[in-house]
Amino acid sequence: MGIVFSPLGLVLVFTAAITPQWREGQARLGTSGLGSLLKPGVKSQRLGVKSVESLLLVRSDGLWESCLQVEQSELKQCWPVSGPYQRDPRVRLAQGLILTSLFLCGTGIVLACIGVRCWTDLPLRGVAATGGLLVVVAGLLSLTALGVYTHNLGQLGMTSPSHRTHPHRFPNLTLHPAGSLYFGWLGSCLQVMGGVALLFSFKQPRCLTFSCCTEMPVCSVCRSCLHMGNNRDIDMTQYDVSY
């Protein structure tokens, strides 16, 4: 469970981090006002909407990229986050927490793979548990980043004075959570579950001790008599090994 859930959670959180759909907003925009958002020489005929009086504008923001798209058209433009949104301390906090989470989760998965040692009979329990602990911490950090971002989703980048001086640069959008947030929530929960499984699954084995087999070899793991089963008719013949 830990070996499967931890990498899957890492992939989902990484996917959420690099995609720009953390929040999304839509607004109706008249075709006459679209010219200010288009590059010079771009006409409405290229959008395939020459008979439409208004367009549906979709704005999406992520941690490192923002996009602007006209629905039902091929017009889409993306750019690195900038301005008040980039300088918002809550966005910077989310970026730092996500990057730290990805690093810790990757390190924890490497330690877990070394500790589990599927190619041997006995795992390295301490190493595997340490990897699980790192994965749990990574999941908690990403959950914190997602919680901070979601709680302040509508206010991110909206409190800077420079934003108030250009109130009509973009139409007012009603922002709501987008798909990348859901990927992040799912991946973070899988990280926590996988880390907990690794942390508590490798307990010290309990070997049964039999008073009738005091002459049998001692288990090197738990220092007790090897479990020979319930069969009492076991051949107890001793062999002398000469070197």
**For residue 143, what are the CA distances in angstroms to 46, 169, 226, 230, 243?**
42, 33, 45, 49, 61
C-beta neighbour count of 146 within 10 angstroms? 26
The answer, yes or no, to whether residue 86 has pLDDT greater than 60, is yes
Q: Output the pLDDT for position 110.
A: 94
Confidence grade of residue 92 (pLDDT, cut at 50, 70, 90) = very high
Residue whose tokens read 């990484």: 14
Taking the C-alpha atoms of residue 220 and residue 210, their distance in angstroms, rounded to an integer, is: 16
Taking the C-alpha atoms of residue 139 and residue 137, their distance in angstroms, rounded to an integer, is: 5
**Averaged over 74-84, what is the pLDDT?**
84
Q: Output the pLDDT for position 51.
A: 43
Q: Output the pLDDT for position 18.
A: 92
Q: Output the pLDDT for position 188.
A: 95
Q: Is 241 helix (H, G, I), strand (E, B) or coil?
A: coil
Contact criterion met (CB below 8 Å) for 158 and 87: no
Query: For the chain, how are helix, strand and coil distributed in percent, rounded to 5?
Result: 45, 15, 40
**Averaged over 31-46, what is the pLDDT?**
47
Contact criterion met (CB below 8 Å) for 128 and 115: yes
Per-residue pLDDT tens over the stretch 137-196: 999 999 999 999 999 888 887 754 444 444 435 556 678 888 899 999 999 999 999 999
Could you give all domains of the chain from N- to C-terminal order, each with its CATH number?
Answer: 2-201 (1.20.140.150), 208-243 (no CATH)
User: What count of residues does the chain have?
Assistant: 243
